[in-house]
Amino acid sequence: MKDKSVGLKLPTPWRIKRYYLFIFLTVVALVLPWIQVDGNHFFLLSFDKLKLHLAFVQFDMQELYLMPFLLMMLFLGIFGMTVMGGRVFCGWICPQTIFRVIYRDLIETKLLGLRKRIKNKQQEPDMSIAKNKIKKAVAILIWTALSFVASANLLWFFVPPEDFFAYLANPFDHMILVGTLLVSALFLIYDIVFLQEDYCIYVCPYSRVQSVLYDEHTVMALYNTNRGGHIYNEDKEKAFTKQKDLQEVELHAECTTCESCVTVCPTHIDIRKGLQLECINCLECVDACTVVMGKLGKPSLVTWSSEYEIIDKKGKTKYFRPKIIAYAVLLVGLAVAMVIMGGNKEHMLLNINKENRLYSVSKESDGRVAVDNAYVFLIQNTQNKEMDFFFEIIAPKDLKGKLEIVKPTEPFSVTPGVKKKKIVVLRTYDQLSDDARHDKIIPITVRAYAVGHEDNIVVFRDATFAYPRADIIEEAK
C-alpha cells in the first residue's frame, strides 16, 4: 500500500495477514475430519466406539496414555507462545476471535453494512432505526446457521462425519449428540452476538495467566512513549486529548491524538495506556497508527516489539533466551516420547484370566493322565476389518513341546472393535513335576496373532500353568 501524498510505501496490514491465517485455519478445521487413511482420522476421540485416532493411527481407549502428552504439549505450546509473543494465540488462532471477525467484520460490516467501517469498532449501530433492526436480525440468522456448522465441526473430532450424519437421521436414538449440538450452537450465538469481546476480557482465564508469563523481551503491541509522548499520567489517567496540549509539555511528542488506535481496538482499550490484560495482540492498532503516521512520512508509534527494545532502549529483543529454549526442549521431548510410545502400540488387545479352578486331572482311555488348565481370553480386534486369530504357547526350554492347546483347535474370527471372550484350555500328558508336597507353577508365554499377519499383528502375554503335586497324579492313575 502506498500513500500518494508523500510516496511512502506502507507494509501489508496485519489485519489482512490475520485474515489469510483465519481462512487457512478454517479450511483445515473443516476439511481435516473428512480425511481418512486406512479408515483412520488425523484426530478423533470417539467415546462412542472407545477409540483414539492420532496422526491416522488408531488406538484403543486402553492406550489413552497418549492424551496427557497431547494436553501437556498444548498447554506448554500456548505458554511458550505467550512468553514469546504475548496473547498472540488470542488474536491470531483463538476460535473466539475468528468467529467475532466473521460476525462483526464480514457479516455486519461487509455483507449487511450494519456497521460503517471495520476500522471503527467502538461505535455500535443505532438500533432505534427500523432498517438496522432488520439487518441485525438477518445478521443473527446468518450467524445462527454458521454456529450450527461450527458446532458440528467441533463434534466431528469426537463423532466422525460418517457417523454424525447417520446419527442425526435418527435423532431420538442419539439425544446426547443432538443436545450437545444444540447447546454448543446456542452458546456460540450468545457468545459472539451478545457477550462479544467481554468473553476475552472477563471469562477467559488465559488473560489472567499471561501476566505472570510476560518478561521484558515478550513481543506485543506497544506504544512508543519515547516518540509519541505520555498521553496518560502515572495514575493511568488520561492527561491529554489534543496534540498541541501534549507538545506544550513534551516538545517532540509525535502522537497526533487522532485516536485511530483506540477506535479500531476490538477489546475497547487505549494501547497508549501501557500493558493491559485486555490486549489480544490483534495488531489492528499497529495498522491504524501505521496509516496515520505514514501520511506524515514517519514510522508507526505503535509497533509489535518488546519493552526491552522500544521503551527501555536496551538493545534488540532476545527471542531465543533460556526461557524460550526450555519450552522448546520440553515440547520436543514430549513429542519424541509420544512418538516412541505411540510406535510401540499393540495392534490387538488381549487379557488373560485364569479360571477359578487351578487345574483339572483326568485319565484318558489309553491310560494316560491329562492335566488341564483353563483360561478366559478376552481379545479385541483393533483393526478396521474382520480377522482370524489364534494362539501358541511358549514354554520353558525343558518343557518345550509338552504343552498343547486342546481348546480351541481352529482359528476364530473377531469383528473389529468388539471384545470376544474365548475359553482356552492347555493340556499336558507329561510328568512335569514329582514334588510330593507342592503344586508346581510353571511360567509360560502366550503368543496371540492374526492369521496371515503373524509378523505385525501379534502380542505376547505372560501366564502360568499349574501342575499338581505327585499324590494327585497317582490318585488319578
Residue 208 and residue 71 share a domain: yes
Q: For 368-403, how does the pLDDT look when each residue is reduced to its tens digit (9 = 90+)? A: 999 999 999 999 888 778 899 999 999 888 888 889
Residue 54 falls inside a structural domain: no
Residue 255 and residue 268 share a domain: yes
Q: Where does a domain end: 345, 380, 411? A: 345
Q: For 78-98, how does the pLDDT look when each residue is reduced to its tens digit (9 = 90+)? A: 889 889 988 899 999 999 999
Contacts of 339 (CB under 8 A, 6+ apart): none
Cβ density class 67-91: b for 16+ within 10 Å, e for less: eebeeebeebebbbbbbbbbbbbbb
Residue 158 and residue 26 share a domain: yes
Identify the H or E element spanning 433: none
Measure the CA–CA gap between 191 and 94, rounded to whole angstroms.
14
What is the three-class DSSP state of 192? helix
Residue 45 falls inside a structural domain: no
Residue 368 and residue 341 share a domain: no
Residue 376 and residue 300 share a domain: no
User: Residue 191: which domain range?
Assistant: 1-34+65-345
pLDDT confidence tier of residue 413, bands split at 50, 70 and 90? very high
Residue 47 falls inside a structural domain: no
- Which of 394, 461, 463, 473 lies closest to 432, judged by CA? 473
Measure the CA–CA gap between 465 and 313, rounded to whole angstroms.
77
Q: For 175-199, how does the pLDDT look when each residue is reduced to its tens digit (9 = 90+)? A: 999 999 999 999 999 999 999 988 9
- Pick from 2-16, 105-119, 230-244: least confident: 2-16
Query: Average pLDDT in the 407-433 region?
Result: 90
pLDDT at 210 over 90: no
Q: Which DSSP symbol is given to 57? A: E
Residue 282 falls inside a structural domain: yes
Work out how many domains the chain is built from and give that number: 2
For the chain, the residue count is 477
Identify the H or E element spanning 378: strand 369-381
**Alpha helix locations (H) across 62-174?**
66-85, 88-92, 95-100, 130-155, 161-168
Q: How high is the pLDDT of residue 4?
A: 47
pLDDT confidence tier of residue 62, bands split at 50, 70 and 90? low
Residue 352 and residue 224 share a domain: no
pLDDT at 16 over 80: yes
Residue 341 and residue 352 share a domain: no
- Pick from 208-217, 262-271, 411-420: least confident: 208-217
- Determine how many CB atoms are found less than 10 A away from the CB of residue 147: 23
What is the three-class DSSP state of 87? coil
Measure the CA–CA gap between 406 and 427, rounded to whole angstroms.
7
Residue 204 and residue 339 share a domain: yes
Residue 375 falls inside a structural domain: yes
**Alpha helix locations (H) across 344-469?**
none
pLDDT at 358 over 80: yes
Q: How high is the pLDDT of residue 421?
A: 92
- Which of 12, 84, 78, 27 lies closest to 283, judged by CA? 12
Q: Which DSSP symbol is given to 4? A: T
Q: How high is the pLDDT of residue 21?
A: 96
Query: Average pLDDT in the 463-476 region?
Result: 89
Residue 425 and residue 310 share a domain: no
Residue 85 falls inside a structural domain: yes
Percent of the chain with pLDDT over 90: 56
Residue 164 falls inside a structural domain: yes
- Pick from 16-25, 136-145, 203-212, 309-318: least confident: 203-212
pLDDT at 28 over 70: yes
pLDDT at 471 over 50: yes
- CATH of residue 464: 2.60.40.10
Residue 402 and residue 274 share a domain: no
Phi, psi (degrees; rounded to nearest 5) at 271: -60, -20
Residue 353 and residue 304 share a domain: no
pLDDT confidence tier of residue 106, bands split at 50, 70 and 90? very high
Residue 192 falls inside a structural domain: yes
**Torsion sign, CA atoms 266, 90, 97, 220:** positive
Measure the CA–CA gap between 60 and 47, rounded to whole angstroms.
11
Mean pLDDT of the chain: 89
What is the three-class DSSP state of 258? coil
Helices vs strands, H then E, count in the chain: 16, 18
Identify the H or E element spanning 332: helix 322-343
Q: Where does a domain end: 345, 373, 408? A: 345
Residue 353 and residue 314 share a domain: no
pLDDT at 49 over 90: no
Q: Where does a domain end: 345, 363, 396? A: 345
